[in-house]
Structures are given as C-alpha cells and as structure tokens.
Amino acid sequence: MKTTRSMLLCGFGIALGFGFGAGLSLQGPAGSAQADYLNEAESEKIYRELDAGDSSLADTSRVLSKIARVVMPGVVHINSFRKLPPRGRVEETGSGVVMSSLKRPGTYIVTNRHVINDALPDLESISIHLSDGRVIHPLKVWEDRYSDIAVLEVEAVNLEPLRWGDSDKLEIGNIVLACGSPFGLSQSVTMGIVSARGRSSLGIGNRSVVLNQDFIQTDAAINPGNSGGPLIGLQGKLLGINTAIASTHGGNEGIGFSIPSNLVRHVVSHLLEYGSVRRAYLGVKLDSEFDYEAAQQLSLYRSRGARILEVYPNTPAAQADLKYNDVILEFNGVEVLDESHLINRVSLSDVGELVEVTVWRDGKKVKIKVDLTGRPARSE
C-alpha cells in the first residue's frame, strides 16, 4: 500500500496531548502475564526509595516541572474567525507566546501568521485566551508572510514575557518542550529532542511565499492547534515557534517543525521598529537541485554550498562580479549548507551591510566583498 505524507500547518479538532517521545511498558518479559509478587517489607523499601526521589530521572522531572511553571503562564490559546456569507464562519485555532522587544515598549503575542491572517482586519474576531482564563483582543497586528510570523500588540496586566533563547546553539539530541493548544487543549506540554536542523523545502503553503525555511525538526508531539506555540529548551527560554508537522493522517507522527528563535526575534524586531521586515538582497538565481554529481563536475568533493544559475543585472551580486556557476561556500564567515540556508543568511543581514562571501570558481576559492541592498518587491 502506498503511503503519502503531507506537510500540514498545525492550526486545528480532540485527543489528549502530553507525550514524552518514548513509551513506557509495564508488561513482563517475553509476554509473561504473571507478576512477581513482593512481600510487605520489600514493597515498603521500594516506596521509601521512590519517596526519596534520589535518581537522575527524578531530578530531570523536577527540572521539567520548573520549566513548565515558569513558561506556561506566557503561553496563550488563540481563536480567530473568518465570516462567510450569508451567516457562516470558519474558525482557526492556534497558540501563541507572550514576548517583549527592545525595539518598542509594550507586551506582544507572537504566533504564526496563518493562525490569524484570515480574520484580519477585524481584530475583534481574534480572541486571545490567557493562562488565567482572561480573554482579550489585540490592539494592533503586524504580519510577515515570508516567515509566517505575526505579532499582536495587547494590553493586559500581569503578563510575564518569556525569555529569548539562542537557536544557533541548539544541537541535535538536545531535549526540548513543545507548548500550546493541540486540538484546542490549552496549556499542554510535550517533550522530545531536536531531531534535525536546517530543514527546508517542506512544501508548506506556497514555497515562493514562505521564503524563510530553516526549520528545527523535533519529535516532541506537535498537533493541529500547536501552531504559534513555543519550543522551549532546558533553560526555560524560547528556541522556536512551532508551525508544521509531517503527517499521513493529520496528527502527530513524531515529525514536527519549528521556526528558529533567532529568525523569529529578527522578524519581530523589524516588524515593531519598521512595520515590515527589511530583508537584504543579493540578486542571484540559485540551483535548488545542486547535488553531488553537479558538485563533482565543478571539481567539488561534496554538494555543500549554493550554486549560482543566474546573476540579475543592477544588483549587489552583479556589482560584486559574482558569476554563473560560482558556488557560494561561505557567507560572512558562516558555511553555506544549501540554497535555502543562503537565502536565510542573506535575508537576516542588514540592508547596506558589506559582507564577505567565499565562492568556488574555476577549481579554487575566491573571496568577494558584496554590498547588500534592500530586497525589491516581488523578487525571488
């Protein structure tokens, strides 16, 4: 039987959601149905040891409980409604996280754009359910379609923002928590690990619209309704915004994706300071199918980097004399993994920044300075 896996945005339907990425079995060895009975003294001894909580598992459990206590008051449940003629409406359910910014005073909810976009511009059709039961509406909304991030300005007392973490320091195998409202079940927490980094080309919506695809992959249970909720590290800080799952049936299968916090923070800062995200621009068409065979033809021993197929005229790339078949190996000191990685590195750079790129040209490395400009409208 053929199995088809789809990429789904996790915005909503009901199943209980508190998972740990691993199962526990109480069954005896080899399918045995007979239990080993303990006498009263043996049972009492085991209970005393368990009550003492003297184990690494108990220590881990206490740390996780502390994280949940400090984080969950800043996690919100979001409902948005889109009216349909004559009297119908469509509901979108997701999650969000209370954050702050140095760029603008105030309190803000960060979520996925797809959670609230269909309800705009009617702010009253967006309901934010706080952890203490209050329901509020946003005063203002900023959105960025290219990263699927939205920022909602709110006014409410006793809201404690979460703290920003550094997603660049995440390593595969790190333990993370996914928080939010799976299937509308608010204040839910699941646990897993970072399964991979730098995931891209996931087929989320229109690839040309969701420009910044640099996802963290996790096996922490993420389900419809988790969209916009936080991915949290063991320091209790925000490391990502949960946004999508790979699934054959619409529910969690251990493959979820989050937008890295450093990208989220950059987008949020620009939205609050400028009203939109000012993305730097290089001005090249890249090879999305650059593989090992193509790399070998250029005398490269591996397919890392981003190969240039075309240099657009009157762009920073043209002015810096980048050429067809150049392979960009490094961008401003960072090794380039592929075309999506380069797109993200460029778009996260400041407009007007002078950067150094290392390219592979005619069998050798060449360093070139590029003066980045702002990304023009409708550019790829």
Q: Do residues 288 and 120 lie in contact, with contact meaning Cβ atoms separated by under 8 Å?
A: no
Indicate the pLDDT class of residue 249, thresholds 50, 70 and 90: low
261 and 303 both lie in a single domain: no
265 and 286 both lie in a single domain: no
Indicate the pLDDT class of residue 207, thresholds 50, 70 and 90: very low
Q: Is residue 28, in this structure, part of any structural domain at all?
A: no
211 and 309 both lie in a single domain: no
3-state secondary structure 139-208: CEEEEECCCCEEEEEECCCCCCCCCECCHHHCCCCCEEEEEECHHHCCCEEEEEEEEEEEECCCCCCCCC
Top-confidence residue, 82 or 14: 82
Specify the pairing of strand 75-84 against strand 88-101: antiparallel
Average pLDDT over residues 250-258: 77
193 and 259 both lie in a single domain: yes
In this model, does residue 58 exceed pLDDT 60?
yes
Q: Is residue 252, in this structure, part of any structural domain at all?
A: yes
Which of 154, 189, 204 is a domain's end point?
154
Lowest mean pLDDT among 45-59, 137-151, 292-306, 350-364: 45-59
180 and 261 both lie in a single domain: yes
Q: Is residue 43, in this structure, part of any structural domain at all?
A: no
Which of 274, 295, 316 is a domain's end point?
274
Indicate the pLDDT class of residue 31, thresholds 50, 70 and 90: very low
149 and 215 both lie in a single domain: no
Residue 29's pLDDT is 45
123-159 pLDDT tens trace? 999 999 999 999 999 999 999 998 999 999 999 999 9
Q: Which residue has the tokens 């949960």?
A: 242
Which of 120, 154, 188 is a domain's end point?
154
Residue 55's pLDDT is 83
Q: What is the CA radius of gyration of the chain?
A: 24
101 and 140 both lie in a single domain: yes
Q: Is residue 22, in this structure, part of any structural domain at all?
A: no
Residue 252's pLDDT is 64
CATH number at residue 187: 2.40.10.10
Share of the chain above pLDDT 70, in %: 85
Share of the chain above pLDDT 90, in %: 58
In this model, does residue 377 exceed pLDDT 70?
no
CA-based nearest residue to 124, from 102, 106, 109, 141: 141
Lowest mean pLDDT among 42-51, 251-260, 273-282: 251-260
Q: Which residues are marked as active site?
A: 114, 148, 227
Instruction: Count structural domains, the chain.
Output: 3
Residue 366's pLDDT is 96
Domain, as residue range, for 128? 73-154
Residue 26's pLDDT is 39
270 and 286 both lie in a single domain: no
212 and 252 both lie in a single domain: yes
CATH number at residue 344: 2.30.42.10
Q: How many residues does the chain have?
A: 380
Lowest mean pLDDT among 28-37, 220-229, 255-264: 28-37
In this model, does residue 250 exceed pLDDT 70?
no
Q: Is residue 178, in this structure, part of any structural domain at all?
A: yes
148 and 172 both lie in a single domain: no
Specify the pairing of strand 327-331 against strand 354-361: antiparallel
* Predicted structure pTM score: 0.80
Top-confidence residue, 75 or 37: 75
Average pLDDT over residues 67-78: 96
Average pLDDT over residues 60-79: 94
Indicate the pLDDT class of residue 25, thresholds 50, 70 and 90: very low
Lowest mean pLDDT among 26-35, 59-68, 196-205, 366-375: 26-35
Q: Is residue 290, in this structure, part of any structural domain at all?
A: yes
Q: Is residue 67, in this structure, part of any structural domain at all?
A: no
268 and 291 both lie in a single domain: no
Sign of CA dihedral 247, 217, 272, 277: negative
Q: Is residue 77, in this structure, part of any structural domain at all?
A: yes
Average pLDDT over residues 209-223: 84
Indicate the pLDDT class of residue 50, thresholds 50, 70 and 90: confident
What is the distance between the alpha carbons of residues 256 and 220, in angstroms, rounded to a whole number? Answer: 7
120 and 199 both lie in a single domain: no
Q: Do residues 111 and 227 lie in contact, with contact meaning Cβ atoms separated by under 8 Å?
A: yes
Mean pLDDT, the chain, whole residue set: 85
Specify the pairing of strand 135-136 against strand 126-129: antiparallel
Angle CA(313)–CA(314)–CA(320) in degrees, nearest 5?
Answer: 90
